[in-house]
Amino acid sequence: MTDSPIAAAPEADSSLATARQADARDPLAHLRDRFELPDGTVYLDGNSLGPLPRAVLPAVTDLVRRQWGQDLITSWNVHDWWGLPRRLGDQLAGLIGAAPGQVVCGDSTSVQLFQAMVAACRLRPGRSMLLTDGASFPSDQYLADSVGRLLGLRVVRLHPSELAAYLGEHGTQVAAVSFSLVDYRTGELFDAAELTRTAQAAGAVMVWDLCHAAGVLPVTLDEIGADLAVGCTYKYLNGGPGSPAFIYIARRHQSQVELPLTGWNGAREPFGLNSSYVPAESIERARIGTPALLSMAALEAALTAFDGVGIDQLRAKSLALTQQVIEFADQRLARFGVEVVTPRRPGLRGSQVSLRMPAAYEVCQALIERGVIGDFRAPDLLRLGFPPMYLSFTEVHRGMLTLAEILADGSYREPRFAQRATVT
Protein backbone atom coordinates (compact mmCIF):
# COMPACT_ATOMS: atom_id res chain seq x y z
CA MET A 1 0.00 0.00 0.00
CA THR A 2 2.80 2.45 0.82
CA ASP A 3 4.13 2.22 -2.73
CA SER A 4 0.84 3.22 -4.37
CA PRO A 5 0.36 6.66 -5.91
CA ILE A 6 -2.50 7.38 -3.57
CA ALA A 7 -0.60 6.43 -0.43
CA ALA A 8 2.28 8.65 -1.50
CA ALA A 9 0.12 11.72 -2.11
CA PRO A 10 1.02 14.72 0.10
CA GLU A 11 -2.52 15.02 1.49
CA ALA A 12 -2.40 11.34 2.51
CA ASP A 13 0.84 11.94 4.41
CA SER A 14 -0.70 14.95 6.13
CA SER A 15 -3.87 13.12 7.15
CA LEU A 16 -1.84 10.17 8.41
CA ALA A 17 0.21 12.48 10.62
CA THR A 18 -3.00 14.01 11.94
CA ALA A 19 -4.41 10.56 12.71
CA ARG A 20 -1.26 9.56 14.58
CA GLN A 21 -1.40 12.74 16.63
CA ALA A 22 -5.04 12.03 17.51
CA ASP A 23 -4.10 8.53 18.67
CA ALA A 24 -1.32 9.91 20.84
CA ARG A 25 -3.86 12.16 22.60
CA ASP A 26 -6.65 9.56 22.80
CA PRO A 27 -7.67 8.88 26.45
CA LEU A 28 -9.63 5.81 25.34
CA ALA A 29 -6.86 4.06 23.43
CA HIS A 30 -6.34 1.50 26.21
CA LEU A 31 -9.89 0.18 25.75
CA ARG A 32 -8.86 -1.71 22.64
CA ASP A 33 -7.15 -4.24 24.90
CA ARG A 34 -10.59 -5.26 26.18
CA PHE A 35 -11.44 -6.81 22.79
CA GLU A 36 -10.31 -9.69 20.61
CA LEU A 37 -9.65 -8.32 17.13
CA PRO A 38 -7.90 -10.07 14.22
CA ASP A 39 -4.48 -8.68 13.38
CA GLY A 40 -4.46 -6.61 10.21
CA THR A 41 -8.24 -6.16 10.07
CA VAL A 42 -9.86 -2.73 10.14
CA TYR A 43 -13.28 -3.48 11.58
CA LEU A 44 -15.82 -0.84 10.58
CA ASP A 45 -18.96 -2.92 11.06
CA GLY A 46 -19.52 -2.77 14.81
CA ASN A 47 -22.82 -1.07 14.01
CA SER A 48 -23.97 -4.50 12.76
CA LEU A 49 -22.06 -6.85 15.08
CA GLY A 50 -19.65 -5.78 17.77
CA PRO A 51 -16.36 -7.69 18.18
CA LEU A 52 -15.68 -10.18 20.96
CA PRO A 53 -14.84 -8.63 24.35
CA ARG A 54 -12.10 -10.58 26.11
CA ALA A 55 -14.26 -11.02 29.21
CA VAL A 56 -16.89 -13.06 27.36
CA LEU A 57 -15.15 -16.40 26.80
CA PRO A 58 -14.23 -17.07 30.46
CA ALA A 59 -17.71 -16.02 31.60
CA VAL A 60 -19.50 -18.32 29.17
CA THR A 61 -17.05 -21.14 29.88
CA ASP A 62 -17.75 -20.80 33.60
CA LEU A 63 -21.49 -20.91 33.06
CA VAL A 64 -21.24 -24.00 30.89
CA ARG A 65 -18.63 -26.00 32.80
CA ARG A 66 -19.25 -25.04 36.42
CA GLN A 67 -22.71 -23.56 36.77
CA TRP A 68 -24.52 -25.79 34.28
CA GLY A 69 -22.06 -28.70 34.31
CA GLN A 70 -21.63 -29.01 38.07
CA ASP A 71 -24.44 -27.15 39.81
CA LEU A 72 -27.11 -28.09 37.29
CA ILE A 73 -30.61 -26.79 38.00
CA THR A 74 -29.61 -25.43 41.40
CA SER A 75 -27.89 -22.61 39.51
CA TRP A 76 -31.22 -20.83 39.14
CA ASN A 77 -30.84 -20.06 42.85
CA VAL A 78 -27.16 -20.61 43.63
CA HIS A 79 -25.95 -18.38 40.78
CA ASP A 80 -29.16 -16.36 40.52
CA TRP A 81 -29.86 -17.24 36.93
CA TRP A 82 -33.40 -16.11 37.62
CA GLY A 83 -32.33 -12.57 38.40
CA LEU A 84 -30.12 -12.11 35.34
CA PRO A 85 -32.70 -10.38 33.07
CA ARG A 86 -33.31 -7.73 35.74
CA ARG A 87 -29.61 -7.36 36.61
CA LEU A 88 -28.76 -6.88 32.97
CA GLY A 89 -31.63 -4.42 32.67
CA ASP A 90 -30.18 -2.29 35.43
CA GLN A 91 -26.73 -2.40 33.81
CA LEU A 92 -28.21 -1.34 30.48
CA ALA A 93 -30.27 1.36 32.15
CA GLY A 94 -27.07 3.16 33.10
CA LEU A 95 -26.11 3.36 29.41
CA ILE A 96 -29.44 4.81 28.26
CA GLY A 97 -30.10 7.37 30.97
CA ALA A 98 -32.61 5.38 33.00
CA ALA A 99 -32.86 4.76 36.72
CA PRO A 100 -32.81 1.14 37.90
CA GLY A 101 -36.04 -0.82 37.77
CA GLN A 102 -37.17 0.36 34.34
CA VAL A 103 -35.32 -1.96 31.96
CA VAL A 104 -35.41 -5.73 31.57
CA CYS A 105 -33.41 -7.84 29.13
CA GLY A 106 -34.62 -10.77 27.07
CA ASP A 107 -35.97 -12.02 23.75
CA SER A 108 -35.23 -10.45 20.37
CA THR A 109 -35.50 -6.87 19.21
CA SER A 110 -38.50 -7.77 17.07
CA VAL A 111 -40.31 -9.28 20.06
CA GLN A 112 -39.55 -6.26 22.21
CA LEU A 113 -40.67 -3.84 19.48
CA PHE A 114 -43.94 -5.71 19.19
CA GLN A 115 -44.37 -5.62 22.94
CA ALA A 116 -43.64 -1.90 23.14
CA MET A 117 -45.82 -0.82 20.23
CA VAL A 118 -48.84 -2.83 21.33
CA ALA A 119 -48.45 -1.62 24.92
CA ALA A 120 -48.11 2.00 23.79
CA CYS A 121 -51.26 1.84 21.67
CA ARG A 122 -53.22 0.16 24.44
CA LEU A 123 -52.33 3.06 26.74
CA ARG A 124 -54.41 5.28 24.43
CA PRO A 125 -57.66 3.40 23.78
CA GLY A 126 -60.07 5.01 21.37
CA ARG A 127 -57.35 6.45 19.14
CA SER A 128 -57.06 5.04 15.64
CA MET A 129 -53.50 5.68 14.37
CA LEU A 130 -49.97 4.40 14.86
CA LEU A 131 -47.20 6.50 13.31
CA THR A 132 -43.82 5.14 12.24
CA ASP A 133 -40.87 6.25 10.13
CA GLY A 134 -41.20 5.05 6.55
CA ALA A 135 -37.40 4.86 6.23
CA SER A 136 -36.77 2.92 9.43
CA PHE A 137 -35.45 -0.63 9.56
CA PRO A 138 -37.84 -3.10 7.87
CA SER A 139 -38.67 -4.93 11.13
CA ASP A 140 -39.93 -1.68 12.66
CA GLN A 141 -42.23 -1.17 9.71
CA TYR A 142 -43.37 -4.79 9.43
CA LEU A 143 -44.16 -4.91 13.14
CA ALA A 144 -46.03 -1.62 13.01
CA ASP A 145 -48.21 -3.11 10.27
CA SER A 146 -48.74 -6.22 12.37
CA VAL A 147 -49.75 -4.14 15.38
CA GLY A 148 -52.09 -2.15 13.18
CA ARG A 149 -53.82 -5.33 12.00
CA LEU A 150 -54.00 -6.74 15.52
CA LEU A 151 -55.50 -3.62 17.09
CA GLY A 152 -57.44 -2.31 14.10
CA LEU A 153 -55.30 0.80 13.75
CA ARG A 154 -54.26 2.76 10.70
CA VAL A 155 -50.47 2.79 10.30
CA VAL A 156 -49.09 6.03 8.87
CA ARG A 157 -45.50 6.34 7.66
CA LEU A 158 -43.75 9.69 7.86
CA HIS A 159 -40.32 11.16 8.45
CA PRO A 160 -39.65 12.46 11.97
CA SER A 161 -39.32 15.98 10.55
CA GLU A 162 -42.98 15.74 9.52
CA LEU A 163 -44.28 14.73 12.96
CA ALA A 164 -45.25 18.13 14.33
CA ALA A 165 -47.20 19.13 11.24
CA TYR A 166 -49.00 15.80 11.07
CA LEU A 167 -49.94 15.85 14.75
CA GLY A 168 -51.14 19.43 14.37
CA GLU A 169 -53.82 18.13 12.02
CA HIS A 170 -54.45 14.58 13.27
CA GLY A 171 -53.04 14.53 16.80
CA THR A 172 -56.23 13.52 18.60
CA GLN A 173 -56.36 10.32 16.54
CA VAL A 174 -52.76 9.17 17.13
CA ALA A 175 -52.27 6.55 19.82
CA ALA A 176 -48.50 6.08 19.51
CA VAL A 177 -45.43 7.16 17.58
CA SER A 178 -42.55 4.73 16.99
CA PHE A 179 -39.24 6.04 15.66
CA SER A 180 -35.60 4.95 15.59
CA LEU A 181 -33.28 7.41 17.31
CA VAL A 182 -30.66 6.96 14.55
CA ASP A 183 -31.51 6.25 10.92
CA TYR A 184 -29.88 2.90 10.20
CA ARG A 185 -29.13 3.81 6.57
CA THR A 186 -27.82 7.36 6.77
CA GLY A 187 -26.74 7.67 10.39
CA GLU A 188 -28.96 10.71 10.96
CA LEU A 189 -29.57 11.35 14.67
CA PHE A 190 -32.98 12.69 15.61
CA ASP A 191 -33.87 14.99 18.49
CA ALA A 192 -35.34 12.57 21.02
CA ALA A 193 -36.33 15.24 23.52
CA GLU A 194 -38.18 17.42 20.99
CA LEU A 195 -39.94 14.55 19.25
CA THR A 196 -41.00 13.03 22.57
CA ARG A 197 -42.42 16.38 23.71
CA THR A 198 -44.22 16.78 20.40
CA ALA A 199 -45.81 13.34 20.56
CA GLN A 200 -46.81 13.65 24.20
CA ALA A 201 -48.24 17.14 23.71
CA ALA A 202 -50.71 15.57 21.28
CA GLY A 203 -51.55 12.87 23.82
CA ALA A 204 -49.65 10.11 22.01
CA VAL A 205 -47.22 7.62 23.55
CA MET A 206 -43.63 7.68 22.22
CA VAL A 207 -41.68 4.49 21.48
CA TRP A 208 -37.95 4.72 20.71
CA ASP A 209 -35.80 2.15 18.92
CA LEU A 210 -32.26 2.59 20.30
CA CYS A 211 -30.50 -0.11 18.28
CA HIS A 212 -28.07 2.31 16.59
CA ALA A 213 -27.64 4.58 19.60
CA ALA A 214 -27.14 2.59 22.80
CA GLY A 215 -23.48 2.40 23.73
CA VAL A 216 -22.06 5.17 21.53
CA LEU A 217 -23.98 8.34 22.32
CA PRO A 218 -25.77 9.85 25.31
CA VAL A 219 -29.35 8.65 25.63
CA THR A 220 -31.33 10.32 28.42
CA LEU A 221 -34.64 8.50 28.61
CA ASP A 222 -35.62 9.62 32.11
CA GLU A 223 -34.55 13.20 31.52
CA ILE A 224 -36.68 13.59 28.39
CA GLY A 225 -39.68 11.90 29.98
CA ALA A 226 -39.61 8.93 27.60
CA ASP A 227 -42.46 6.43 27.62
CA LEU A 228 -41.10 3.18 26.14
CA ALA A 229 -37.92 2.18 24.35
CA VAL A 230 -36.26 -0.94 23.01
CA GLY A 231 -32.80 -1.78 21.80
CA CYS A 232 -30.52 -4.59 20.71
CA THR A 233 -27.24 -5.53 22.39
CA TYR A 234 -25.20 -7.11 19.58
CA LYS A 235 -24.15 -3.87 17.86
CA TYR A 236 -22.41 -1.18 19.91
CA LEU A 237 -22.93 -3.14 23.15
CA ASN A 238 -20.91 -6.10 21.80
CA GLY A 239 -23.12 -8.81 23.25
CA GLY A 240 -22.53 -11.29 20.42
CA PRO A 241 -24.58 -12.62 17.52
CA GLY A 242 -28.23 -12.92 18.50
CA SER A 243 -27.70 -11.48 21.97
CA PRO A 244 -30.94 -10.51 23.70
CA ALA A 245 -32.70 -7.18 23.36
CA PHE A 246 -34.05 -4.96 26.11
CA ILE A 247 -37.20 -2.99 26.83
CA TYR A 248 -37.56 0.21 28.84
CA ILE A 249 -40.90 1.06 30.43
CA ALA A 250 -41.04 4.33 32.35
CA ARG A 251 -41.91 3.69 35.98
CA ARG A 252 -45.08 5.78 35.71
CA HIS A 253 -46.48 3.38 33.11
CA GLN A 254 -45.54 0.08 34.70
CA SER A 255 -48.72 -0.49 36.69
CA GLN A 256 -51.00 0.28 33.71
CA VAL A 257 -49.09 -1.07 30.74
CA GLU A 258 -50.70 -4.09 29.11
CA LEU A 259 -48.17 -6.19 27.25
CA PRO A 260 -49.42 -8.61 24.60
CA LEU A 261 -47.10 -11.56 25.35
CA THR A 262 -47.92 -12.77 28.84
CA GLY A 263 -45.41 -15.50 29.57
CA TRP A 264 -45.05 -17.09 32.97
CA ASN A 265 -41.79 -15.27 33.79
CA GLY A 266 -43.71 -12.00 33.85
CA ALA A 267 -46.38 -13.19 36.26
CA ARG A 268 -46.65 -11.82 39.77
CA GLU A 269 -46.05 -15.30 41.23
CA PRO A 270 -44.18 -17.28 38.56
CA PHE A 271 -43.77 -20.34 40.73
CA GLY A 272 -47.32 -20.19 42.00
CA LEU A 273 -48.10 -21.79 38.64
CA ASN A 274 -51.53 -20.19 38.55
CA SER A 275 -53.80 -20.87 35.59
CA SER A 276 -54.69 -17.18 35.13
CA TYR A 277 -52.12 -14.50 34.41
CA VAL A 278 -51.64 -11.67 36.89
CA PRO A 279 -48.73 -9.40 35.85
CA ALA A 280 -45.87 -8.50 38.13
CA GLU A 281 -46.15 -5.01 39.58
CA SER A 282 -42.67 -3.98 38.43
CA ILE A 283 -40.61 -4.06 35.24
CA GLU A 284 -40.61 -7.83 35.75
CA ARG A 285 -43.97 -7.90 33.95
CA ALA A 286 -42.03 -7.33 30.72
CA ARG A 287 -40.40 -10.75 31.05
CA ILE A 288 -41.91 -13.47 28.89
CA GLY A 289 -40.39 -16.96 28.85
CA THR A 290 -37.27 -18.71 30.09
CA PRO A 291 -34.28 -16.45 29.38
CA ALA A 292 -31.44 -17.48 27.06
CA LEU A 293 -28.82 -17.89 29.76
CA LEU A 294 -25.77 -18.51 27.55
CA SER A 295 -26.40 -15.32 25.57
CA MET A 296 -27.15 -13.37 28.71
CA ALA A 297 -23.96 -14.53 30.39
CA ALA A 298 -22.03 -13.36 27.32
CA LEU A 299 -23.77 -9.99 27.42
CA GLU A 300 -23.18 -9.51 31.13
CA ALA A 301 -19.46 -10.03 30.58
CA ALA A 302 -19.43 -7.87 27.44
CA LEU A 303 -20.88 -4.92 29.30
CA THR A 304 -17.85 -4.85 31.60
CA ALA A 305 -16.00 -3.29 28.66
CA PHE A 306 -17.82 -0.08 29.59
CA ASP A 307 -16.51 -0.08 33.17
CA GLY A 308 -14.94 3.25 34.05
CA VAL A 309 -15.83 4.81 30.68
CA GLY A 310 -17.99 7.91 30.36
CA ILE A 311 -20.54 7.96 27.56
CA ASP A 312 -19.55 11.56 26.83
CA GLN A 313 -15.97 10.41 26.23
CA LEU A 314 -17.22 7.79 23.80
CA ARG A 315 -19.37 10.33 22.02
CA ALA A 316 -16.50 12.80 21.65
CA LYS A 317 -14.23 10.20 20.05
CA SER A 318 -17.05 8.88 17.87
CA LEU A 319 -17.65 12.37 16.48
CA ALA A 320 -13.93 12.85 15.88
CA LEU A 321 -13.69 9.56 13.97
CA THR A 322 -16.73 10.27 11.82
CA GLN A 323 -15.47 13.79 11.13
CA GLN A 324 -12.13 12.33 10.03
CA VAL A 325 -13.93 10.08 7.56
CA ILE A 326 -16.22 12.81 6.22
CA GLU A 327 -13.24 15.08 5.57
CA PHE A 328 -11.33 12.28 3.87
CA ALA A 329 -14.33 11.50 1.68
CA ASP A 330 -14.70 15.14 0.67
CA GLN A 331 -11.02 15.55 -0.15
CA ARG A 332 -10.16 12.16 -1.63
CA LEU A 333 -13.30 10.29 -2.73
CA ALA A 334 -15.59 12.87 -4.32
CA ARG A 335 -13.60 12.53 -7.56
CA PHE A 336 -14.93 8.97 -7.81
CA GLY A 337 -18.57 10.01 -7.52
CA VAL A 338 -18.77 9.28 -3.77
CA GLU A 339 -21.34 11.30 -1.81
CA VAL A 340 -21.49 11.60 1.99
CA VAL A 341 -25.13 11.09 2.99
CA THR A 342 -24.59 11.19 6.75
CA PRO A 343 -25.33 14.63 8.26
CA ARG A 344 -22.26 16.81 8.54
CA ARG A 345 -23.42 18.65 11.65
CA PRO A 346 -22.07 16.69 14.63
CA GLY A 347 -25.30 16.95 16.61
CA LEU A 348 -27.24 15.33 13.78
CA ARG A 349 -25.25 12.14 13.29
CA GLY A 350 -24.79 8.90 15.14
CA SER A 351 -21.62 6.81 15.04
CA GLN A 352 -21.54 5.85 11.38
CA VAL A 353 -20.82 7.37 7.99
CA SER A 354 -22.76 6.25 4.95
CA LEU A 355 -21.27 6.85 1.52
CA ARG A 356 -23.38 6.73 -1.63
CA MET A 357 -21.49 5.45 -4.62
CA PRO A 358 -21.89 3.44 -7.80
CA ALA A 359 -21.27 -0.29 -7.30
CA ALA A 360 -21.39 0.06 -3.51
CA TYR A 361 -21.85 -3.68 -3.04
CA GLU A 362 -18.84 -4.56 -5.18
CA VAL A 363 -16.69 -1.96 -3.46
CA CYS A 364 -17.69 -3.34 -0.07
CA GLN A 365 -16.66 -6.86 -1.09
CA ALA A 366 -13.33 -5.64 -2.44
CA LEU A 367 -12.71 -3.83 0.84
CA ILE A 368 -13.44 -6.94 2.87
CA GLU A 369 -10.96 -8.93 0.79
CA ARG A 370 -8.30 -6.35 1.69
CA GLY A 371 -9.08 -6.55 5.39
CA VAL A 372 -11.41 -3.57 5.79
CA ILE A 373 -14.85 -4.74 6.92
CA GLY A 374 -17.87 -2.51 6.44
CA ASP A 375 -21.29 -3.31 5.08
CA PHE A 376 -23.65 -2.54 2.21
CA ARG A 377 -27.21 -1.24 2.35
CA ALA A 378 -29.34 -1.33 -0.78
CA PRO A 379 -29.38 0.18 -3.22
CA ASP A 380 -26.11 2.15 -3.20
CA LEU A 381 -24.75 2.76 0.31
CA LEU A 382 -21.43 1.71 1.78
CA ARG A 383 -22.07 1.93 5.52
CA LEU A 384 -19.15 2.28 7.91
CA GLY A 385 -19.47 2.18 11.69
CA PHE A 386 -17.08 3.82 14.15
CA PRO A 387 -17.39 2.41 17.67
CA PRO A 388 -14.85 4.43 19.66
CA MET A 389 -13.87 1.76 22.18
CA TYR A 390 -11.62 -0.23 19.88
CA LEU A 391 -10.93 1.85 16.78
CA SER A 392 -7.86 4.04 16.37
CA PHE A 393 -7.61 7.09 14.15
CA THR A 394 -4.64 5.55 12.36
CA GLU A 395 -6.41 2.34 11.39
CA VAL A 396 -9.48 4.28 10.27
CA HIS A 397 -7.16 6.30 8.05
CA ARG A 398 -5.74 3.06 6.68
CA GLY A 399 -9.23 1.79 5.96
CA MET A 400 -10.17 4.94 4.09
CA LEU A 401 -6.92 4.90 2.15
CA THR A 402 -7.70 1.34 1.10
CA LEU A 403 -11.12 2.48 -0.10
CA ALA A 404 -9.49 5.22 -2.17
CA GLU A 405 -7.09 2.70 -3.71
CA ILE A 406 -9.90 0.34 -4.67
CA LEU A 407 -11.84 3.14 -6.32
CA ALA A 408 -8.72 4.34 -8.15
CA ASP A 409 -7.50 0.99 -9.43
CA GLY A 410 -10.97 -0.25 -10.35
CA SER A 411 -10.36 -3.67 -8.83
CA TYR A 412 -13.92 -3.73 -7.47
CA ARG A 413 -15.09 -4.29 -11.08
CA GLU A 414 -13.80 -7.86 -11.06
CA PRO A 415 -16.85 -10.11 -11.64
CA ARG A 416 -16.35 -12.10 -8.43
CA PHE A 417 -17.15 -9.04 -6.33
CA ALA A 418 -20.59 -8.77 -7.93
CA GLN A 419 -21.71 -12.20 -6.73
CA ARG A 420 -24.25 -11.55 -4.01
CA ALA A 421 -23.86 -13.42 -0.76
CA THR A 422 -26.91 -14.37 1.33
CA VAL A 423 -26.05 -11.75 3.95
CA THR A 424 -25.10 -8.34 2.58
Catalytic residue among 133, 140, 209, 375: 209
Catalytic residue among 184, 190, 234, 248: 234
Catalytic-role residue among 35, 114, 137, 166: 137
Give CA–CA dist 235/214, Å, rounded. 9
CB 318 within 8 A of CB 351: yes
Which 3-state string (H, E, C) describes the chain? Answer: CCCCCCCCCHHHHHHHHHHHHHHHHCCCHHHHHHEECCCCCEECCCCCCCCEECCHHHHHHHHHHHHHCCCHHHHHHHCCCCCHHHHHHHHHHCCCCCCCCCEEECCCHHHHHHHHHHHHHHCCCCCCEEEECCCCCHHHHHHHHHHHHHHCCEEEECCHHHHHHHHHHHHHHEEEEEEECECCCCCEECCHHHHHHHHHHCCCEEEEECCCCCCCCCCCCCCCCCCEEEECCCCCCCCCCCCCCEEEECHHHCCCCCCCCCCHHHECCHHHCCCCCCECCCHHHHCCCCCCHHHHHHHHHHHHHHCCCCHHHHHHHHHHHHHHHHHHHHHHHHHHCCEECCCCCHHHECCEEEEECCCHHHHHHHHHHCCEECEEECCCEEEEECCCCCCCHHHHHHHHHHHHHHHHHCHHHCHHHHCCCCCC
Phi, psi (deg, nearest 5) at residue 43: -100, 105
Give the active site residue among 86, 127, 235, 398.
Answer: 235
Whether 43 is a known active-site residue: answer no
| CA-based nearest residue to 28, from 214, 305, 331, 268 | 305
Q: Which of 128, 286, 134, 261 is nearest to 204 (CA)?
A: 128
Is 236:351 a contact under the CB 8 Å cutoff?
yes
In the set 185, 285, 317, 383, the catalytic residue is 383
Catalytic residue status for 317 = no
CA pair distance 147, 161, nearest whole angstrom: 23
Sign of the CA dihedral 214, 218, 222, 226? negative
179 is an active site residue: no
Catalytic, 383? Answer: yes
The set of catalytic residues is 137, 209, 234-235, 383
